[in-house]
Amino acid sequence: MTGDPFTSTLERTFARLRDQGLWRRRERRQSPQGPSIQVDGQTLLSFASNDYLGLANDPRLVEALCQGARRYGVGAGASHLLGGHSEAHHELEEALAAFVGTPRALIFSTGYMANLALLTTLCPRHGRVFEDRRNHASLIDAARLAQADRHRYRDVASLERALAAAAPGGLVVSDGVFSMDGDTADVPGLLALAQAHGAGLVLDDAHAFGVVGPQGRGTPAAAGLGHDPALVHMGTLGKAFGVFGAFVAASKDVIEALIQTARPYIYTTALPPALAACASTSLAIAIAEDHRRVELNERIHQFRAGATQLGLRILPSSTPIQPVILGDAARALDVSARLREQGLYVPAVRPPTVPAGTARLRITLSATHTRADVERLLGALSALPPDTA
């Protein structure tokens, strides 16, 4: 008799996840993203998406996508080096380079792949990669794929010690805005340390572009930094820009190296050209409509002031990511379920995504939330039963 080769092993994994309160399930959304969403048939006020500027369902983007599809069809049909690269991709790359202020930019199908491409291209085997402990999973996986000699650091001071103990060179790798805590990296500090040690800095601004800095130009611009050949800047198009895809903005040589050698760039189908055209429209809107960032910042201040008054455990974040720390996974799940009963969609984030003991609500705010939306959230949070665990 030939048995199922998977079930017995997988059942052990499932049992462990259930025991630890880490079992996950997907819900079905029936509406576009926005403050009000439909999930599993219920209408909910959402504080869950990374659509920070409220562009994911903007009619101008929907129209740009349709127009792009009428011009280019749906699929890119091939990889970038074998006929898949379109005029729409190229125009988007030029607009992104101008936006970030770098000589060139390159589009990737996802941010995950852009990070795999960056580290495997910029780090030789056994090269040294210094990563912030809170970096996004794709940056951690990228260093593994690059077969790098990996170091994790806690802050700029511990990075300085790690660099001082190592030979010159290597790569410092950091999120610009940390995706689970919402705080911003000390980009000038990281860049100065990297330069002093002959290292490069890879900065993942997935949660910063569109939101942080003048016109949403990211964390280096927010700190007053211009283009620097030691800085390789990565961003995504699926968060504040409301579309899909990702990009790297950097010096001519770094971009050329990615095109010539990066396997996650070369061996995959190009992003649909219509999405590239749509992203160009989104970028132009995000640059022009400063009022979206103004409104978003008003909501952030409103939430923080209210949460502080309620005595909630919030973190030092000035971005749309505003976690409320609850402690263990069960408590976070329970609070999220209670909010859900009141018509609020606020997901709980549990280990291993965040460190043990810091399970939380990951509240995200958008420019399209109203003052009343945030008041409703604060009202629901104020009515929570005290932590009895």
Ligand X SMILES: *Cc1c(COP(=O)(O)O)cnc(C)c1O
CB of 67 or CB of 353, closer to ligand X: 353
Q: Catalytic residue, from 89, 136, 239, 369: name it.
A: 239
- Catalytic, 301? Answer no
Among residues 197 and 209, whose Cβ is nearest to ligand X?
A: 209
Comparison of 271 and 300: residue with beta carbon closer to ligand X: 271
Q: Is 85 a catalytic residue?
A: no
What is the distance between the alpha carbons of residues 314 and 362, in angstroms, rounded to a whole number?
Answer: 10
Residue number with CB closer to ligand X (141 or 160): 141
Work out how close the CB of 100 gets to ligand X at its nearest, in angstroms, rounded to a whole number: 16
Instruction: Please check whether residue 355 is in contact with residue 385, taking contact to mean a CB–CB distance below 8 angstroms.
Output: no
213: left (phi over 0), alpha (psi -120 to 50) or beta: left
Tell me phi and psi for residue 25, to 5 degrees: -135, 150
Which residues bind to ligand X, rule: CB under 6 A?
110-112, 115, 136, 138, 175, 179, 204, 206-207, 236, 238, 246
Q: Which of 325, 299, 322 is nearest to 312 (CA)?
A: 325
Q: What is the 3-state secondary structure (H, E, C) of the chain?
A: CCCCCCHHHHHHHHHHHHHCCCCCCCCCECCCCCCEEEECCEEEEECCCCCCCCCCCCHHHHHHHHHHHHHHCCCCCCEHHHCCCCHHHHHHHHHHHHHHCCCEEEEECCHHHHHHHHHHHHCCCCCEEEEECCCCHHHHHHHHHCCCEEEEECCHHHHHHHHHCCCCCCEEEEECECCCCCCECCHHHHHHHHHHCCCEEEEECCCCCCCCCHHHCCHHHHCCCCCCCCEEEEEECCCCCCCCCEEEEECHHHHHHHHHHCHHHHCCECCCHHHHHHHHHHHHHHHHCHHHHHHHHHHHHHHHHHHHHHCCCECCCCCCEEEEEEECHHHHHHHHHHHHHCCEECCEECCCCCCCCCEEEEEECCCCCCHHHHHHHHHHHHCCCCCCC
Cβ distance to ligand X smaller for residue 160 or 186: 186
Least distance in Å: CB of 85 to ligand X? 19
Residue nearest to ligand X (CB): 111
Nearest distance in Å: CB 247, ligand X: 10
Length of the chain equals 389
Q: Nearer to ligand X by C-beta: 148 or 234?
A: 234
Report the candidate in 311, 289, 301 with the shortest Cα–Cα distance to residue 242. 289
**In the bound complex, what is the minimum distance in angstroms from residue 175's beta carbon to ligand X?**
5
What is the closest distance, in whole angstroms, from the C-beta atom of residue 234 to ligand X in the complex? Answer: 7
Cβ proximity to ligand X, 35 vs 238, nearer residue: 238
Among the listed residues 207, 233, 280, 336, the single catalytic one is: 207
Mark residue 77 as left, alpha or beta (left: phi above 0; alpha: psi -120 to 50; beta: remaining).
left
Residue 207 annotated to the active site: yes
CB nearer to ligand X: give 116 or 159: 116
Taking the complex as a whole, the smallest distance from the CB of residue 246 to ligand X amounts, in Å, to 5
In whole angstroms, the minimum distance from the beta carbon of 133 to ligand X comes to 14
In angstroms, give the least distance from the CB of 52 to ligand X: 12
Which residues belong to the active site? 179, 207, 239
